Amino acid sequence: MTDSKYFTTTKKGEIFELKAELNSDKKEKKKEAVKKVIASMTVGKDVSALFPDVVNCMQTDNLELKKLVYLYLMNYAKSQPDMAIMAVNTFVKDCEDPNPLIRALAVRTMGCIRVDKITEYLCEPLRKCLKDEDPYVRKTAAVCVAKLHDINAQLVEDQGFLDTLKDLISDSNPMVVANAVAALSEIAESHPNSNLLDLNPQTINKLLTALNECTEWGQIFILDCLANYTPRDDRESQSICERVTPRLSHANSAVVLSAVKVLMKFMEMLPKDLDYYGTLLKKLAPPLVTLLSAEPELQYVALRNINLIVQRRPEILKHEMKVFFVKYNDPIYVKLEKLDIMIRLASQANIAQVLAELKEYATEVDVDFVRKAVRAIGRCAIKVEQSAERCVSTLLDLIQTKVNYVVQEAIVVIKDIFRKYPNKYESVIATLCENLDSLDEPEARAAMIWIVGEYAERIDNADELLESFLEGFHDESTQVQLQLLTAIVKLFLKKPTETQELVQQVLSLATQDSDNPDLRDRGYIYWRLLSTDPVAAKEVVLAEKPLISEETDLIEPTLLEELICHIGTLASVYHKPPSAFVEGSRGVQHKRLPGSAGSGESVESPDAVSAAGVSEAPPAVIPSQGDLLGDLLNLDLTPPTTTGPPPPASSGMQMGAMDLLGGGLDSLLGGDLGGSPAMGAVFGAPPATMPASFNAPVSGGLDDLFDLGGGVGMPMGAYNAPKTVWLPAMKAKGLEISGTFVRRAGVIQMEMTLTNKAMSVMTDFAIQFNRNSFGLAPAGPMQVLTPLSPNQSIEVALPLSTVGPVMKMEPLNNLQVAVKNNIDVFYFSCQYPISMLFVEDGKMERQVFLATWKDIPNDNESQFQIKDCHLNSDAASNKLQGSNIFTIAKRTVEGQDMLYQSMKLTNGIWVLAELRVQAGNPNYTISLKCRAPEVSQCVFQNYESVLKN
Amino acid sequence: MIGGLFIYNHKGEVLISRVYRDDIGRNAVDAFRVNVIHARQQVRSPVTNIARTSFFHVKRSNIWLAAATRQNVNATMVFEFLYKMCDVMAAYFGKISEENVKNNFVLIYELLDEILDFGYPQNSETGALKTFITQQGIKSQSKEDQTQITSQVTGQIGWRREGIKYRRNELFLDVLESVNLLMSPQGQVLSSHVSGRVVMKSYLSGMPECKFGMNDKIVVDKQGKGSEDGGKSGKQSIAIDDCTFHQCVRLSKFDSERSISFIPPDGDYELMRYRTTKDIILPFRVIPLVREVGRTKLEVKVIIKSNFKASLLAQKIEVRIPTPLNTSGVQLICMKGKAKYKASENAIVWKVKRLAGMKESQVSAEIELLPTNDKKKWARPPISMNFEVPFAPSGLKVRYLKVFEPKLNYSDHDVIKWVRYIGRSGIYETRC
């Protein structure tokens, strides 16, 4: 065969010649001519002029020729719609051909011809083909519906093709099912709200059956479709997972990754204490590692996805560090991605190995890779404190190599290390200063200037160094200019006598000779600050900077969740939501993980709670308003069984998943005017609010004295209220119950004193609770072993669990109790302090706190005043910690201490708090943010009682 | 889904262009050429987004295959499809070269029409495709033939057709392993793994049901409990980290019973891939000694030690020792084989045809360097090694391969079976 000759005809008058050949009588010549036409078409020549002649060749029984003509038609029909109609008859005829291959070919091609007139004629043949006896024709027709829908959606709906397509999901042939699923998924994507892909347990079952039988590609379509389903409960979720896991051993990586997607998504619904949950986690690691021995392009896709998976569930791959070590011959895109994942997996356990590798990489050839490796060393230092020293010395070694870009990169990361561990590694500054001249990149120059300004008091010739930069001020990039301005102002505030001239110079350069508004504005601000109030200037410019956090490039939690739903797709490769790169209605839908989806609505609808499953943290508080009395009367006073909903899975992430636009806090981020813009990216600081009042009352001496009593030091134990009488003897035929609630080592206990004030002996005690807001229930029967004689008291400690039935109470912390003895059943109600429900691991990561705070809509914020409290902020923080209210960060702004605190309820609800304490002012302000704002009032009361006692 | 598929030669000229979706225009063909094939810098990613169109590409010798889309497609699937496409083309006309693509362009268009519909991959098993995409026309087929074709293409066993007959039923089974190693200069194993493949050639009549067994630790332990030699066989079994299978293997059965059962395709195919990391037999140990003598001289001595049964022979041994860029001359002494300095590759290549187990050999080199004022230090790439050994470094052993064909009258005993083990070096590197 020498078909390549068709590519080489470049004669003039070619079209004319071809025309003659196409109309030739000889079959062979005709075929040759059509081949030439197709070759010309391929290389981009316009051969549309030959349309009628080519279409004339269509009626042939030579299948090869027919296919070529069809190919031509698909390309040019749109430009010649009137003539395309000539082809219709042949198509319609072919759709009736006894040979199924020809029927399918006709319907397949017809769908690709985007001409309205042809489309009209397509409907009848398509309808027949959808019901064809041959599965090959049916599977082709299924895809054709999607084609037609792309041309004319209305027509497809009017003709009822969608219903036929839905029927095909029950087809006996697995490939027909797979194509029908693919077509329906695509159509459903362009109608986000239609319930087209009506996924219910029956259809899911059909899909899972077809999954075992169809081709590798069909398995992908089905798995991708399954990933859109939300199981009703954890049991359904588990059973689907069980049937999907065998796919992890498929040779096709796409089948594997799509299965991983389904599992990652459905896993959200499984309770973490379930054995199967652990098994599943273990099953995920090996196939992910295996993907790394695939071809490099697939490795790249896999690594981009692993990057997401590691952020969402670090436990899966935490022991697999070695497989991410870079191989010398890996393509550069694979190397860079591996490096990213290595840093994410770095921990104290493996840091030595990681550092040894990174040092190795820093000597390689590729500049981007080397830079990233150097940067990675810095990130290790910030992430694993124990390794910081070794990292710094490694970086110094690298600086000694004098390789220009290595030095610059190292200086940029050393600046970050200074931000994380202030006043620890300043001894290296001298070495850094030696390399000042070799820095030519803005980022490195800015970093170096920042270091000089920040540690100006320790660098003898700081003024000379900065002055040397000033010479070419106008040639510097904005980043460097801004940094230089700030650094010189810092220097001036630290050494005012020697540097007055310098500061004058930089201020005038910034304000008078610059066109950059940012630079001018900053210049003016400094100028005014310095001229009006140097003390204030000092406080602003030299303010203590918040420490930077460990992970600086984590994907924002909401986006991460969405991307997890898109594992394997382009979105997961770009790390962008589909809406960022797909036009039109497709992909605009935001996908979410089941655990966190739509928690807003569920609060109102009791059904949604049970339907959405247990991992849904916030709405677990409030199911239905049941019949209180009925419940109490039906008490059978047997020890409670723990069949209620299992404790909700709780992770910090679930909270940070809501509305991106919710918080207005971005603007309040890191209010340090003195900091550099270059630093902005690494601020992990808690939000700052400007103090409301500047003229705070001067603190009295007495307050200070009281402060001493409060004491700073070890966190104190929890405050426990004294016992109060819950059930007076008069109301209970002589039985008096007084009690309180305590939380010890994570166990809630109800401590009661039972007193017999009657004349006869009491025996057979039992206790039962009504359903309540947080599912409190006795963890065991009440132990009153000996009979209670008249005038005798007995102390009883009843451990409580939080897995009982749930119902909203008013007030929220109300508990209705029934106590039985040999005489009668008595009812009383009491209120427990909500701090009983604060769990010990309620300390949020700073980063998560920040994201969550932003995420919770402002409507959910409530503010309270705590009056007459005489503790200083440290004492308050200690005291609160005793009740599992954890202080995450503290900032001091204008003498006002801001404490950022978090606590977690037993049902997984997080409450975030900002406590403002002004020295000398006995009134605290507290702002509470929570997904379930109902709890705020209780939490506030709790703050008040803890702080005041 | 895939919107268009293009094949280019190394110059960026289009050889094949098939558009499946309306959102991919003719200009997409040029966009990829200009931005990727003609791009000045090295390719930084196999996925490129140009003006909202995403391109996936793979290269086979000088040929570029690119898929274009404007949707959020399953990226893994697109790459898998591109590889499959290469396999299919290779099965039809051999090596993928410009000449072959041009010579078979009609066939390629026909294939593209069949295996990709509206951008959705369809059945792409060569076994099935070859029954009806033949370049001969299908006029002559009888009605039965046609139904047979369609049911095979869409059927549950899409990889095998009915009615295959052989006079001699024969099976060839190759266990091909590549052993990968990264070792520190001090001889510490930084990472090592074996990635293995079980490749089969089956010439069996009918629709035979096969069952494959190996010394998988999980299976052996399970069986070992009942039998007496449990302790003994436990030693010989291997822990498989992960394995993947050809689509003919029943995955759910593997998941529940860990047994590998399948109806094999006819001819060549890869039954499974696996990966092991524990108790790997590293066939060679490389001991590098590098000494810098002043600024202009480097002394390198490399010792290799073979670490397997003395009765076995390793073949095609090649040790590649990188040299600095400013090397001016090299003097070499080696005990066995031939060593050469290849200036164009910046490396000393030492080749030994054969080496028995439990032996040792060495090469020493004096490298003269030109004095340079280049501040940058030499990156010292790792020493790499290639070899082939007649055993499986993972320790994998085939225990059985049973064939059942109830409808035809041949039994497992009548099938002639051949098993072979080959261990090759993957990336086998020692840092120096």
What ipTM was predicted for this assembly?
0.83
| Other Cβ atoms within 10 Å of A385 Cβ, number | 12
* Separation CA A228–CA A86 (nearest Å): 43
Which residue type does A422 have?
P
Write down the pLDDT at residue A684: 35
| Other Cβ atoms within 10 Å of A258 Cβ, number | 29
* CA–CA min distance B34, chain A (Å): 15
Partner-chain residue, chosen from B21, B49, B245, that has the shortest CB–CB distance to A249: B245
Q: Please give the backbone phi and psi of residue A309, each rounded to the nearest 5 degrees, phi first.
A: -65, -40
Tokens for A922?
């006995």
A217 and B431 within 8 Å at the Cβ level: the answer is no
* Separation CA B43–CA B260 (nearest Å): 41
Partner-chain residue, chosen from B71, B122, B153, that has the shortest CB–CB distance to A582: B71
Q: B 178-197 residues with CB below 8 A of A?
A: 182, 190-191, 193, 195
* Separation CA A191–CA A177 (nearest Å): 21
| Other Cβ atoms within 10 Å of B211 Cβ, number | 14
On whether any CB of chain A is under 8 Å from the CB of B377, the answer is: yes
| Other Cβ atoms within 10 Å of A128 Cβ, number | 15
* Separation CA A815–CA A834 (nearest Å): 11
* Separation CA A265–CA A562 (nearest Å): 10
Q: What percent of chain B has pLDDT over 90?
A: 61
Cis peptide leading into residue A639 (ω within 30°): no
* Separation CA B339–CA B322 (nearest Å): 13
Write down the pLDDT at residue A589: 64
Write down the pLDDT at residue B421: 95
* Separation CA A637–CA A646 (nearest Å): 22
Q: Please give the backbone phi and psi of residue A170, each rounded to the nearest 5 degrees, phi first.
A: -95, 10
Cα dihedral sign for A590, A593, A594, A598? Answer: negative
Write down the pLDDT at residue A719: 65
Write down the pLDDT at residue A840: 83
Run of H or E including A891: strand A886-893
SS3 string, A81-139, reads HHHHHHHHHHHHHHCCCCCHHHHHHHHHHHHHCCCHHHHHHHHHHHHHHHCCCCHHHHH
Our measurement of the distance from residue A511's CA atom to the centroid of its chain's CA atoms, rounded to an integer in Å, reads: 43
- Number of CB pairs < 8 Å for A and B? 287
Output the CA–CA distances (angstroms, integers) from residue B50 to A144, A511, B27, B32, B366, in the order listed.
29, 41, 11, 8, 51
Cβ B75 vs Cβ A301: under 8 Å: yes
Residues in chain A: 949
Name residues of chain A where pLDDT drops below 50: 1, 587, 596-716
DSSP letters spanning B83-99: HHHHHHHHHHHSS--HH
Residues in B closer than 8 angstroms to A140, CB to CB, are: 117
DSSP letters spanning B402-423: EEE-SSSS--GGGSEEEEEEEE
On whether any CB of chain A is under 8 Å from the CB of B427, the answer is: yes
Q: B 254-313 residues with CB below 8 A of A?
A: 254-255, 270, 272-273, 275
Cβ A466 vs Cβ A454: under 8 Å: no
Residues in A closer than 8 angstroms to B53, CB to CB, are: none
Q: Which residue has the higher pLDDT, A690 or B19?
A: B19
Stretch B313-336: mean pLDDT, rounded? 92
Write down the pLDDT at residue A844: 83
What does the longest C-alpha to C-alpha distance in chain A come to?
124
Residues in A closer than 8 angstroms to B248, CB to CB, are: none
* CA–CA min distance B6, chain A (Å): 10
* Separation CA A946–CA A938 (nearest Å): 12
* Separation CA A519–CA A484 (nearest Å): 10
On whether any CB of chain B is under 8 Å from the CB of A580, the answer is: no
Per-residue pLDDT band at B376 (split at 50, 70, 90):
low
Residues in chain B: 432
Write down the pLDDT at residue A591: 77
Interface test with B, best of A40, A179, A184, A570 (most B CBs within 10 A): A570
Write down the pLDDT at residue A606: 39
* CA–CA min distance A517, chain B (Å): 33
Beta bridge partners of B194: B179, B276
Run of H or E including B30: helix B27-32
Partner-chain residue, chosen from A296, A302, A581, that has the shortest CB–CB distance to B52: A581
DSSP label at B33? I
* Of the candidate ranges A551-565, B82-96, B120-134, B226-240, the one whose mean pLDDT is the lowest: B226-240
Report pLDDT digits (tens) over A847-865.
Answer: 788 888 888 878 788 888 8
Of A835, A849, A911, A841, the residue nearest A879 (C-alpha): A835
Write down the pLDDT at residue A811: 81
* Separation CA A265–CA A593 (nearest Å): 6
Q: Residue B312: is its pLDDT beyond 50? A: yes
Write down the pLDDT at residue A26: 82
* Separation CA B213–CA B271 (nearest Å): 12
Strands (E) across B74-169 are located at 116-117, 120-121
Stretch B318-322: mean pLDDT, rounded? 94
Per-residue pLDDT band at B16 (split at 50, 70, 90):
very high
Q: Please give the backbone phi and psi of residue B414, each rounded to the nearest 5 degrees, phi first.
A: -80, -15
Taking phi over 0 as left and psi of -120 to 50 as alpha, with beta for the rest, B397 belongs to beta
* Of the candidate ranges A619-623, A929-933, B74-78, B268-272, the one whose mean pLDDT is the lowest: A619-623
pTM above 0.90, yes or no: no
Our measurement of the distance from residue A637's CA atom to the centroid of its chain's CA atoms, rounded to an integer in Å, reads: 45
Beta bridge partners of B289: B301
Which residue type does A486 have?
T
Of A740, A836, A743, A835, the residue nearest A795 (C-alpha): A740
On whether any CB of chain A is under 8 Å from the CB of B221, the answer is: no
B120 and A173 within 8 Å at the Cβ level: the answer is no
Which residue type does B17 have?
S
Q: Residue B366: is its pLDDT beyond 90? A: yes
Run of H or E including A633: helix A628-633
A298 and B80 within 8 Å at the Cβ level: the answer is yes
Q: How far apart are the first and last CA of chain A?
A: 96
Q: What share of chain B is helix, strand, coil (3-state, %, to 5)?
A: 20, 40, 35
Cα dihedral sign for B269, B20, A182, A164? Answer: negative
* Separation CA A671–CA A352 (nearest Å): 37
Residues in A closer than 8 angstroms to B143, CB to CB, are: 98
A246 and B252 within 8 Å at the Cβ level: the answer is yes
Partner-chain residue, chosen from B56, B155, B191, that has the shortest CB–CB distance to A322: B191
Tokens for B255?
């998941």
* Chain position carrying tokens 């210049």: A523
* Separation CA B2–CA A143 (nearest Å): 14
On whether any CB of chain B is under 8 Å from the CB of A322, the answer is: yes
Cα dihedral sign for A925, A929, A933, A939? Answer: negative
A189 class by beta-carbon count within 10 Å (0-12 exposed, 13-18 middle, 19+ buried)? buried
Which residue type does A930 have?
C
A384: Cβ–Cβ under 8 A, 6 or more apart, which residues? A346, A347, A348, A351
Stretch B312-341: mean pLDDT, rounded? 92
* Separation CA A239–CA A246 (nearest Å): 13
Residues in A closer than 8 angstroms to B375, CB to CB, are: 401-403
* Separation CA A484–CA A509 (nearest Å): 11
Run of H or E including A419: helix A404-420
What does the longest C-alpha to C-alpha distance in chain B come to?
83
Taking phi over 0 as left and psi of -120 to 50 as alpha, with beta for the rest, A863 belongs to beta
Beta pairing, strands B14-19 & B209-214: unpaired
Q: Please give the backbone phi and psi of residue A298, each rounded to the nearest 5 degrees, phi first.
A: -70, -35
Of A395, A354, A389, the residue nearest A375 (C-alpha): A395
Run of H or E including B245: strand B242-245
Write down the pLDDT at residue A142: 95
Q: Which segments of A291-383 does DSSP mark as H helices, in order?
A: 296-312, 332-345, 351-361, 367-383
